[in-house]
Structure 1
Amino acid sequence: MFYSKQRGSALIVSVFIITVMAAFAAAMIRIDWSGQDMTSREVFATRAWFAAHSGNEYVLSKLFPLGQKASAPDACSEGKSSDSKTYTVNASLFQCKEVKVVCTRHKYGSGTPTSYKYQLESSATCGSGKFATTRIQETWAKDLK
C-alpha cells in the first residue's frame, strides 16, 4: 500500500530536472550568441578604424608628396574659392564601404608664402544591418616654415 502512493514521484522529479537543464541550455546558448555578436562588432569596428586611418594617410600623401619641401595646398581645394575637398577612397581591402575624407585648409600666420593648416576628417563604415559600425578620425597637419 505504501508503494502505490509513491508511483508518480519519479516522473515529477524527472520533468523538473529536464526543465531545469533546458533552462540552463537556453542560458548557455544566449551567452554564446551574445559573445559571437560582440566579436563580430569588434571585428567590424577594427576594420572601420583602420580604413578611416588609411583614408587620412592617403590624403596626407597627396598633401605632402615625397620629394617636395612644401605642401601641395591645392590638394585640399576644389577651386580658387574653395578651401575644402572631399576624397572618396575604395575600402574593399577592408571589406568595408567607401571611406570619405574631407580635407579643409586654413590659413595661419602672416608672411610669404602663405602657410596652411590642414584638417582631415575621415569616416569609414564596415558591416551591414545591425553590425554596421562607423569610425571617424580627425587629423591635423601644417606647413613648416
Structure 2
Amino acid sequence: MYRNQSTPISSQSGNVYIIAIFVIVVMGMLALNLTRISWSNQDTLTREVLGSQASLLAQSGNEWALTHLFPLDEDDDFDLLNDRCSLLGSSATEAANALVANSDIPCSSPTISCDVSSENIPDDLKYLKVTTRATCNESNVFEVEREETVWVRGVKND
C-alpha cells in the first residue's frame, strides 16, 4: 500500500498520452463510419425519389397514349386502334415534352411507342403494346430509368 519510491510520478505520465491517442483514433473512426452511413442513406433516398418520379412520368405517358387511342364517342375496334397507333408517334413527342415542361422534375422527355403484336396469333386476339420509357437524373450523378407497358385490345360492338 505504499508507493514505490524508486519510480517518480513524472515517468508514468506517458500512459495518459497513449490512452488519449487511442480514444481520439477510435472516435475518429466512429465519426467516419457515421458519415458514410449518412451519405449512403442520402444516396438511397435520392435514387428512390428519382425512381418514383420516373415511374410516375412513364405512367402519365401511358395514360396520355390511352386517351389518344380511345377518344370519347369513337369506335374502338382493332382496325381503328391500329390506325391510331400508327399516328401516335408524331403527337407523342409533343405530349412527352409537355409532360416534362409542366413539372419541376429533373427528367428528360419520355419516349412513348405503340406497336402491334408480332406473334403468330389469330386476328381477333391481336393486341397493341404501348410502352413509355422515362429517364430521370440528378445533376448527372444518379440516373434512373423506368419503363411502363400497357397491352390494349379493341372491343367490337356487335
Normalising to structure 2: TM-score of the pair? Answer: 0.77
1:126 aligns with 2:126: no
Instruction: Please report how far the alpha carbon of residue 117 of structure 1 lies from its aligned counterpart in structure 2 after TM superposition.
Output: 2.0
Is residue 51–residue 94 contact of structure 1 (8 Å, CA) maintained in 2?
no
Q: How does 1:85-104 map to 2 (within 5 A)?
A: 85=89, 87-88=92-93, 89-90=96-97, 91-92=100-101, 93=103, 95=105, 96-104=107-115
**What amino acid is aligned across from residue 121 of structure 1 in structure 2?**
T
**What amino acid is aligned across from residue 101 of structure 1 in structure 2?**
I
In the other structure, the counterpart of 2:30 is 24
Q: Distance in 1 between matches of 2:39 and 2:84?
A: 47
Is residue 75–residue 85 contact of structure 1 (8 Å, CA) maintained in 2?
no
**What amino acid is aligned across from residue 35 of structure 1 in structure 2?**
N
Highest CA radius of gyration, 1 or 2?
2
| 1:94–1:66 distance in 2 versus 1, CA, 3 Å | farther
**What runs of 5+ residues in structure 2 fail to find an aligned partner?**
1-6
Q: Distance in 2 between matches of 1:13 and 1:123?
A: 59
3-state SS of 2:74 partner: coil
3-state SS of 1:65 partner: coil
Structure number having the greater strand percentage? 1
Q: Distance in 1 between matches of 2:65 and 2:75?
A: 17
Q: Distance in 1 between matches of 2:13 and 2:35?
A: 35
**What amino acid is aligned across from residue 136 of structure 2 in structure 1?**
C
Which range moves more in the overlay, 118-127 or 98-107?
98-107
Which range moves more in the overlay, 8-17 or 66-75?
66-75
1:56 aligns with 2:65: no
Instruction: Please report how far the alpha carbon of residue 106 of structure 1 lies from its aligned counterpart in structure 2 after TM superposition.
Output: 4.4
Percent same amino acid among aligned pairs? 32
**What amino acid is aligned across from residue 76 of structure 1 in structure 2?**
C
Q: Distance in 1 between matches of 2:117 and 2:49?
A: 36
Residues 21-49 of structure 1 deviation map (CA, whole Å, 9 limit, x = unaligned): 00000000000000000000000000000
Residues 35-86 of structure 1 deviation map (CA, whole Å, 9 limit, x = unaligned): 00000000000000000011111011000012223254322115xxxxx846
